[in-house]
Structure 1
């Protein structure tokens, strides 16, 4: 079985390398207004996100409430609670920053496009996947800052929840609402050109990643992070993924979900959105040099989840219908 390396993952690696070689373009003294471009780009991302959301599909998707509840609880409660268990192990400022980066990862919403694509490949419940992936992004606008606020408020005066939500409302909520309002006029057009919009989304994400890492390299933020530390973070995100994946599968079996619903629960409940992570980090962490560390776990998790779920989805697509426990890969 052949696996293709995701082009977006390769693009991220290239952008980080460019930030290391040419950090001056992303510095505060740069003549290119990357901050303004990124802020405008973030607003457009969420405008297009709202434009593609169908209010009718959201309403009809509410029927399978047990599945939706499981996915959202795993996404916004189970992930953060697992990370909270490691809070007593923090002994230094470096440990605190890494732990906050993991808490940020854990509190993010699920992905949209990749979740739906993988569920489709695995022959799961596609309408439920679309509903959960879409609604997860809206919930994350409220929940992600709340989780971070519980700990950042105690350590820094620069994190003001009121200011954060004001910025979120201006850059995220208003564009989403405007997009939803215009869905009936331009929704079909947005769906027709979805590939171009996805390319735009990824371009803005790469721009933010470049600027964040350029600042981080200039400030020597990664001086304490060596190859061993990166390997440790990679192992940690792998363990985190599998913990939630098998827990979601276990609960799905207890709730007697169909094979299709179990696929959706495990695929949507274990994903984390790099798109939301990047744009939220830009708002939640005003210091651009800190964003490099904050984004490191989610970037590793993003690459990991694509590889693992691709393998599982391909395996699931070839399952025999009489074998309902195929997702456990026994």
Structure 2
């Protein structure tokens, strides 16, 4: 077996994983030492809402209609990814919450369940599928559809499986609020693609900075509220280690299940790659804003801790898996 040269995209992605991981950790440290309070916190809350709206506007503007049309033909693939994201993951999440409640705080156990109810990622799913030489148009369509569907499905799953929604309101109110904050900017961005699509393509680093910066802002605001409410007094370090172990096991099970399912159902290797990378991930970009809508501010910090850990683990694991797919001595359509 001959080793392929490391693709430039892979080098950039792995570097960004390390850098972004450090920025997330640094944001949590800053929020711990210098949490925002009072009017400053109110200002950050408004700024966070604006950043989230801009984030989903850009996601909508980046979504090509040609990619949607090209990917829609792979409907069997989308059904498998959809089932993995919104059926298999939540069922595993219920088991994980029940078993981890014996040794984790209720907030962390619920955070593990919450992460399993979220939609898939978009950018990293597509990037890893491309690196592994998979079905990129299908990955674009499947990951994007997962994110759009998650705006409606995740609040319902949270209401059904966690018994809470919209900071104590009903699930319909949660859907309405999330639709206003996330779906509306997404739709507006997609409709504005003919006007702003060229600018976005020419300024990808700027768009990436806005994308990641908005998440860091949301994380800072969430952890500030949680720290003020005594987060680190309730979550000792040994529990974070246990959460990391549980997330590793959860990710391993899902990666094995999606690959096995794709092969048992007779998908091509290119489709298998798309299923593995789209069906095994959970979106930090969608999960953090949704948590801010669905739960009280003081609870968000602890709830998103498992999601942040899982997010980094999935990127690191999928980077290795994508490289192995790319190096395999198999034809792309095997």
Q: Same fold (TM over 0.5)?
A: yes
Gaps of 5+ in 2: 1-5
Does the aligned pair in 1 maintain the 2:97–2:112 contact within 8 Å? no
Q: How many pairs does the alignment contain?
A: 322
Does the aligned pair in 1 maintain the 2:85–2:279 contact within 8 Å? yes
Q: Comparing 215-224 with 254-263, which one deviates more in the overlay?
A: 215-224
**Aligned pair 1:208/2:225, yes or no?**
no
2: CA distance, partners of 1:7 / 1:291 = 24
1:278 counterpart SS class? helix
2: CA distance, partners of 1:165 / 1:133 = 20
Aligned residue number for residue 316 of structure 1: 325
For residue 31 of structure 2, the aligned residue among 8, 19, 33 is 19
For residue 122 of structure 1, the aligned residue among 132, 141, 145 is 132
For residue 257 of structure 1, the aligned residue among 249, 267, 283 is 267
1: CA distance, partners of 2:266 / 2:223 = 45
2: CA distance, partners of 1:180 / 1:207 = 24
Q: Comparing 298-307 with 170-179, which one deviates more in the overlay?
A: 170-179
Aligned residue number for residue 9 of structure 1: 21
Aligned residue number for residue 3 of structure 2: none
Aligned residue number for residue 195 of structure 2: 185
1:134 counterpart SS class? helix
- CA gap of 1:225–1:57, structure 2 versus 1, over 3 A, is same
Aligned residue number for residue 242 of structure 1: 252
2: CA distance, partners of 1:284 / 1:254 = 37
For residue 298 of structure 1, the aligned residue among 294, 299, 307 is 307
Aligned residue number for residue 108 of structure 1: 118
User: Normalised by the size of structure 1, how large is the TM-score?
Assistant: 0.90
Shift of 1:55: 2.5
**Residues 45-124 of structure 1 aligned to structure 2 (within 5 Å):** 45-86=55-96, 88-89=98-99, 95-124=105-134
1:185 counterpart SS class? helix
Gaps of 5+ in 1: 326-330
2: CA distance, partners of 1:298 / 1:139 = 19
2:266 counterpart SS class? coil
- CA gap of 1:225–1:324, structure 2 versus 1, over 3 A, is farther
Shift of 1:252: 0.7
Deviations, residues 88-114 of structure 1 (Å, cap 9, x unaligned): 55869x744223211210011111111
- CA gap of 1:155–1:279, structure 2 versus 1, over 3 A, is closer
1: CA distance, partners of 2:187 / 2:275 = 27
User: Normalised by the size of structure 2, how large is the TM-score?
Assistant: 0.89
2: CA distance, partners of 1:307 / 1:152 = 29
Does the aligned pair in 2 maintain the 1:222–1:293 contact within 8 Å? no
Question: CA-atom RMSD, angstroms?
Answer: 2.5
Shift of 1:190: 2.2
- CA gap of 1:133–1:205, structure 2 versus 1, over 3 A, is same
Aligned residue number for residue 298 of structure 2: 289
Shift of 1:182: 1.6
1: CA distance, partners of 2:238 / 2:333 = 40
2: CA distance, partners of 1:228 / 1:145 = 30
